[in-house]
Each structure stands twice: as structure tokens, then as C-alpha cells.
Structure 1
Amino acid sequence: MENGLSSFWGPVTSTDWCERNYVYSSYIAELFNTISNVPCIVLALFGLINALWQRFEKRFSVLHISNMILAIGSMIYHATLQRKQQQGDETPMVWEMLLYIYILYSPDWHYQSTMPTFLFLYGAAFAVFHSLVRFQIGFKVHYMILCLLCIPRMYKYYIHTKDVHAKWLAKLYLGTISVGGLCWLLDRLFCKNISGWFFNPQGHALWHILMGFNSYFANTFLMFCRAQQRGWNPKVVHFLGLLPYVKIEKPKTQ
């Protein structure tokens, strides 16, 4: 191990990333890739508090909680670099995308009980299959397909939203996922070159940070769109003048 530190978790059995292992602690394999998940947890917690405080539908509370679970799973994975912990990171990624699909498409689903039942069974079947079979490229392709299924609906919400501030949330969502994806790709493809630099920009850690903001912007945009559907007069306001969130005014009958 680098700097003579030993591994508390044993040999690496999962996908290894460009960050050097066990440089700062024998208990944390990739320090930057581990702590870079903290912003996602903080942002999801803020979103959860807002969803509960203003009594949004439970689906949004579950969505924010799923973001936190995913970030915690990622922290454990990068701290240990073990196969089981990697599955504990990847399976929640798929579950989270299934939840996004439900939130995006549920308003137009004719049979309300069919969709959540199908998505639940699909998520459970994937979890079992993923625990038995290791498929790296197949997982990435599968995850990308789930992401692509969300794009048409997000675009439909965008073009039907007139509020300028809400549209900015969608643009920030697109910007963070584009830049984050580029950081992930460069870190993966050019690791040998980057490892020889005096300073490693930690592209995978940047991916974590940007995706934390990406999830928050996506959640906030969807909360705005849903509040608009329910006639709750949503507005995008900013906490401390920086962090956007949705403020609603429900009719007294609700």
C-alpha cells in the first residue's frame, strides 16, 4: 500500500479507481472518493426537511432519503473497495432511477397500482440478480438506459414550465450531469496519465460532488412541477441567497 500503510479491509475485490489507495488511513481506501459524498447527504437532508416541513407528497421524502442512502453506500464502497460494498452502491443507484421513473411518469399512468408494483418487482429482481452475477459493462449500460428513459419526460416538464427560475433548475441539472459525466470519463480513461501528474484533480470525487448537486436540482425541479400540477402556487426561492428550494402555498381546503 502507498506510504507503507496496510489495508484494514484486505485486498481490493471491487472496481478500483484512479485515486491512490490507503494514502491517509488504513481504514479508508480512497479518502477523496469517500468524503466527496458528504455534499450529497447534506443537500438531500435539506431537501427532505423542506419536503416534510411543507408537507409534499411522500414520494419526495422517499426520493431524498434514497439520495442519502446512495451516498452512504458510495462512501462505504470507496472506503473499503470490496465487491459486496460495491453492490451496496450500485443496487441503490438502480432503485433510485426506478423511483425517478415512477415520479416522472405516474401522473399519466392509467392503472395507478400497476406501475409501482412493476417497478418494485423489477428492483427486487435486479437486487437478487446483481448479488449473484457481477457484470460491470452490463451494469453501466443498464443504468444508462434507465437514465435515458427519464430524459423525454424531464424535457416535457421543461417545455411546459413557464417559470424562469424553475427552468434554471433544469438547466443546472443538465449542466451538472454533463460536467460530472466528463469528469468521470476522463478519470476512467486517462488514469495512467493522471497518476503521473504532480496533482491528481480527483475526477471521480468531482463526479460525486456534481452528482450530489445534480440530484438536488432534479428533485427540486420535480417538486416544483408536481406542486404546479396540484395547484399549490410553487415559487423557487433561495436559502441564504444561494441554495434554491421550492416554496408552496396550498389552498386552505388542502
Structure 2
Amino acid sequence: MAPAADRKGYWGPTTSTLDWCEENYAVTWYIAEFWNTVSNLIMIIPPIFGAIQSIRDGLEKRYIASYLALTVVGMGSWCFHMTLKYEMQLLDELPMIYSCCIFVYCMFECFKAKNSVNYHLLFTLILFSLIVTTVYLKVKEPVFHQVMYGVLVFTLVVRSIYIVTWVYPWLRGLGYTSLGIFLLGFLFWNIDNIFCESLSLYTRTLYLRYRPKVKFLFGIWPVILFEPLRKH
């Protein structure tokens, strides 16, 4: 839940079913959640280069699709956090389901002959995506989306553990490091959701107490991030 000090901004009232902990329009009138928005660049720019490199290396289309799907998720998330509109929320959340389905397909087809197509798995994943989309548009319940997304992620994790344990054991370190980073991000995400009000109050108090020193040591960026909070 977003803090009570949220302001009005360029995109008008929030219509999304979710509003995150970052205060709305605290940095600029044109972006609802500034830091949640710009942080999506990591999901937009690198995957584009990955897709380009995949084309140059002659990799199969499913790998190119994976990179492009991740880019679409990043762009949708950018639009969602920038506007906090329900339509943009769908542009973020539904591609999360679709991209994970692409990842699942890649993970289960990574040992097959090049350029082969598993039509049974493809049909199953497309059907799953259609069902999730239809139900989610009907019920508009974020928990449903999170559970369906969790099912796909769990499938990816189990398949990845199998691959790095039994098929490519020399990738075990990379695989478990990636899993650890993912779980750490999931932990921080939950901490941010559960302790939003406490963290926001603590951050304001800490900043106001050490404001002169912070501004002297780190320049303008802490001021851009926290200065709007002084009025609240």
C-alpha cells in the first residue's frame, strides 16, 4: 500500500488494483513512481542487446523471443509504475505470464534437436495463458495473477535445478547463485510490501536528521529522492 502522502500528478487518479510503497509523484509531476519506473531500464535495454546477439549467433527463434518478451515486460512495468493506470497494469502483469510461458518452453526444449517444435507443450502453454488472461480480466484479483505467476516460476526453478544437478553439473554454481539472487529479490519485495509504513517513516526520520550531511556527501540525488517528503 502506498504512503498516505501521495500527490496528484499528470496521469490523474490511480485506477490500478495495486499501488506500491513508493510515494506517488514525489520526484516529478509526470511519473507516479519515479524509482520503480526508471529501474525497469535494466529489463528493457540489456534484453534488446541479447536479442540482437542471439540473431547474430544464429540461435533459435525461441531464445530471441525470450529476450524480446523480457523487454516487453520491462516496458509494460515502466508504463504501469509511471501512470498507475489499470490498463498499464495489465500491460505489465499479463506479459509476465506470457514471457514465463516462453521461458518454460525454452527450458523443456533445451535438449531437443535444433529448430524442432514441441506442439503439445506449445498448445498447453498457450491454453494456460488464455485461461489466466480470461480469468484475470474477469476477477481483477492481483493474488490470482501472483499465484499463476508463482506456478510458472516454480516450474522454471524445478526444471533449472534438474538441469544443473543432473545434466550440466558444471553450471551448478551459476544456477544456485541465480536462484539465490532471485529469492533475495523476492524477500526484499515482501519486506517492502509488509513493512511499507514503518520503512517510509524511518526513511523520512533518518533523512531529516542527517539531511545536511547527506547533501554534502552525496550531492543532489538524495535531495531529489527525499526532499519532497519534508512537507509531510
User: Aligned partners of 1:5, 1:177: CA distance in 2, in Å?
Assistant: 32
Letter of the 2:28 counterpart = S
**Structure 1: gaps (5+ residues):** 201-254
Which residue number in structure 2 is paired with residue 28 of structure 1? 31
User: Aligned partners of 1:31, 1:142: CA distance in 2, in Å?
Assistant: 28
Which residue number in structure 1 is paired with residue 144 of structure 2? 138
Query: What TM-score, normalized by structure 2, do the two folds share?
Result: 0.77
Which residue number in structure 1 is paired with residue 8 of structure 2? 6
* Partner of residue 103 from structure 1, selected from 89, 103, 106: 106
Query: What TM-score, normalized by structure 1, do the two folds share?
Result: 0.71
User: Aligned partners of 2:6, 2:201: CA distance in 1, in Å?
Assistant: 19
Shift of 1:4: 9.4
Task: Show CA shifts across 1:111-162 (max 9, x none).
Answer: 9211112212321332233223201222212211111112221011101214
**Is the partner of 1:17 in helix, strand or coil?**
coil
1:82 aligns with 2:85: yes
1:197 aligns with 2:199: no
Larger helix proportion, structure 1 or 2?
A: 2
CA contact (8 A) 1:8 1:26 kept: yes
1:38 aligns with 2:44: no
* Partner of residue 158 from structure 1, selected from 164, 185, 188: 164
CA contact (8 A) 1:29 1:78 kept: yes
Percent of matched pairs sharing the same residue: 27
**Structure 2: gaps (5+ residues):** 206-232
**Is the partner of 2:136 in helix, strand or coil?**
helix
User: Aligned partners of 1:182, 1:49: CA distance in 2, in Å?
Assistant: 33
Which residue number in structure 1 is paired with residue 62 of structure 2? 59
Task: Show CA shifts across 1:8-30 (max 9, x none).
Answer: 21211221111010012222100
User: Aligned partners of 1:4, 1:101: CA distance in 2, in Å?
Assistant: 39
User: Aligned partners of 1:178, 1:193: CA distance in 2, in Å?
Assistant: 23
Task: Show CA shifts across 1:197-246 (max 9, x none).
Answer: 2369xxxxxxxxxxxxxxxxxxxxxxxxxxxxxxxxxxxxxxxxxxxxxx
* Partner of residue 76 from structure 2, selected from 45, 50, 73: 73
User: Aligned partners of 2:60, 2:45: CA distance in 1, in Å?
Assistant: 21
CA contact (8 A) 1:3 1:23 kept: no
User: Aligned partners of 1:167, 1:108: CA distance in 2, in Å?
Assistant: 17
CA contact (8 A) 1:2 1:21 kept: no
User: Aligned partners of 1:199, 1:68: CA distance in 2, in Å?
Assistant: 34
User: Aligned partners of 1:8, 1:199: CA distance in 2, in Å?
Assistant: 25
* Partner of residue 126 from structure 1, selected from 132, 135, 138: 132
CA contact (8 A) 2:76 2:88 kept: yes
Letter of the 1:179 counterpart = L
User: Aligned partners of 1:104, 1:98: CA distance in 2, in Å?
Assistant: 10
Tell which structure's C-alpha radius of gyration is larger: 2
1:185 aligns with 2:190: yes
Which residue number in structure 2 is paired with residue 174 of structure 1? 179
Shift of 1:168: 3.7
